[in-house]
Structures are given as C-alpha cells and as structure tokens.
Amino acid sequence: MHSLLDQDAPGLAKELASLSPERWQKVFTKACLQASQHLADLDENAGYLSESLRIRGALSPEEVATAVTLAEAADAKYLESQKQNEDQTNVLSVSPWADF
C-alpha cells in the first residue's frame, strides 16, 4: 500500500508513520470523511464506517477489520484495472501497419 501512496504523494506514507497514534487517528479520520463526501458510489459498508467515524471519531476492532478488508479489495481492484489498462495500451501501441 505504501508504494501506491508514494506514487501519488511521495514521502507521505513515511510522514504518516512518524505521527503519534492520536495524531494519526485524527488525520486518518479527517481524510476518510473528506474522501467519502466526494464518492458518488460509496460502498454501503464504507458508508457505514464513515458514519461511525463521523459520530464517534473512531472505529471498533470489528469495524477496523471490515475497513482493512474493504481497503484490500479496493487495492486489488485498482491494481487489476491498472493491469488491464496496461494490457490495452500494449494492444493499441502495436501498429497494424508495422509489417508494411
């Protein structure tokens, strides 16, 4: 996950890792709430977790486990879409006229 984050925000993962647990929780909570407000197709479970964060400012251990599962599934989906895009780019970059 750090490598994906570092692609878009170099050094951010390292900076986040250096925060105190209390500060990290506040930053993470605000980031999640901000992101969830901008997603039209937010997963129902993610919406529930977002609402829990907004109301209580924290997740229960069970909710954390759900969040991890959702994050892993989202990462896998993202990586698969990137792979498909690469495959499509490779197909499109081969000229049908290359032999002429």
What is the DSSP annotation of 28-81?
A: HHHHHHHHHTT-TT--HHHHHHHHHHHHHSS--HHHHHHHHHHHHHHHHHHHHH
- Report pLDDT for 100: 44
The pLDDT of residue 71 is 86
Query: Tokens 């997963």 map to which residue?
Result: 43
pLDDT in tens, 36-70: 888 777 788 888 888 898 898 888 999 999 989 98
Q: Quote the pTM value.
A: 0.59
| pLDDT for res 66 | 92
Torsion of CA 57, 7, 81, 93, to 10 degrees: 160
Q: What is the pLDDT of residue 69?
A: 92
- CA 84 and chain centroid, separation: 18
Average pLDDT of the chain is 80
